[in-house]
Amino acid sequence: MRDVSRLAGVSPMTVSRTLAEPGLVSPEARARVLAAVDRLGYVPDRGAGGLSSRRTGFVALIVPTLTNPNFADTAAGLTAAMRPRGYQPLIGVTGYSVAEEEVVLRAMLPRRPDAIVVAGMRHSPAARDLLARAGVPVVEIWDRPEMPVDRAVGFSNYEAGRLAAQALIDLGATRIAGLGPERTGEARDFRGEERLRGLGDGLRQAGLPDDLILHHGRAAGAFAHGAEAMAELLARGGAQAVFLVSDISAFGALMECQRRGLRVPQDVRILGFGDFEIGRQCVPRLSTIAVDPVGIGRRTGELLLGLLDGEAVAPAVVDLGFRLVLRESTG
């Protein structure tokens, strides 16, 4: 920094302000500093700066997978909201494993993130204690916990399942199935399980059976999951309509129906979740329950910036909701 200040003919403080808060520096001085930075190839030592500012400039973002486009979009929304203020996400992936989430947290906390964003509200007791004691803002996303660790931005997966039940009933179906991953094992999709729980409650309250809510295979992160689950359902006699906990699985189920010569929606209606790009482009296009993954990330970033600035941010839980999108796969 002293080398840059000498070359630019300004004080080290002006160099520091230019790199940290450029709006506080005159355009002429800023241009001279940036030219000197480029000439010298200077890279600020954020670790050293963090010793005095207690800010490291990164936010821990913990998600179950990056193969699901919605989580990637959430990361993009978070980055777009926080990058203008100098924050970048450091991403950890859990593979839908509660135990792995704890491992990721223990690896990230020594690096002193300025905030933590974690998908879901189901944590091991140790992980929840780590989050509560982290001493930085914590936001749980993609769910609506009654008692968040700190803050939450998302929606009710349970209510999304109830909406799926009502939508398929309104379309005239009386034999309705729900397909999702198994509820056992190390890797579990708790949000998908909540959607199926909501579906089951919605069916029972309408006086319809829930015996075709099937839990098959591992967490629904592959097209094959939907194809295999649909094959199991068809082996049991099939259904008039099917709700799958992800558009990825719904696309796999659609392909399985086409391989078997089943017409969608004439022989079976298919409803997914997530409103992924593939569901908007396949034939027939997938009906779905749409959420706003970019909006979840952006709203989380805005919330964190307020908390990091010391603002009294309310409410503790931000519900961004969801909406039903009916396309050709349900008729």
Query: How do the domains of the chain map onto residue ranges?
Result: 2-44, 56-155+292-322, 157-290
**Average pLDDT along the chain:** 92
CATH class of 2-44: mainly alpha
Q: How wide is the angle at C-alpha 147 spanned by C-alphas 144 and 152, nearest 5°? A: 45
Q: Smallest Cα–Cα separation from 121: which of 139, 154, 145, 138?
A: 145
Per-residue pLDDT, averaged over 137-148, amounts to 95
Does 279 have pLDDT greater than 90?
Answer: yes
pLDDT of the residue at 24: 81
Per-residue pLDDT, averaged over 124-140, amounts to 95
Alpha helices in 41-152 (DSSP H): 46-53, 69-82, 98-108, 125-132
Confidence of residue 97 (pLDDT cuts 50, 70, 90): very high
pLDDT of the residue at 43: 67
Per-residue pLDDT, averaged over 277-296, amounts to 97
Superfamily of domain 56-155+292-322: Response regulator (3.40.50.2300)
pLDDT of the residue at 128: 95
Per-residue pLDDT, averaged over 45-63, amounts to 73
Confidence of residue 46 (pLDDT cuts 50, 70, 90): low
Quote the CA–CA distance of 324 and 288 in Å, as a whole number: 6
Range in 39-48, 93-102, 157-166 with the lowest mean pLDDT = 39-48
Supply the DSSP symbol for 111. Answer: G
pLDDT of the residue at 1: 83
Per-residue pLDDT, averaged over 156-168, amounts to 98
Q: Please give the CATH number for the structural domain made up of 157-290.
A: 3.40.50.2300
pLDDT of the residue at 211: 96
Can 56-155+292-322 and 157-290 be said to share one CATH topology? Answer: yes
Q: How wide is the angle at C-alpha 141 spanned by C-alphas 248 and 101, nearest 5°? A: 80
10 Å Cβ neighbour count for 53?
Answer: 12
Q: Which of 39-53, 189-203, 302-316 has the highest mean pLDDT?
A: 189-203
pLDDT of the residue at 186: 84
Percent composition of the chain: helix, strand, coil (DSSP 3-state, to 5): 50, 15, 35
pLDDT of the residue at 54: 65
pLDDT of the residue at 50: 52
Q: How wide is the angle at C-alpha 55 spanned by C-alphas 102 and 35, nearest 5°? A: 130
Q: How wide is the angle at C-alpha 114 spanned by C-alphas 112 and 120, nearest 5°? A: 100
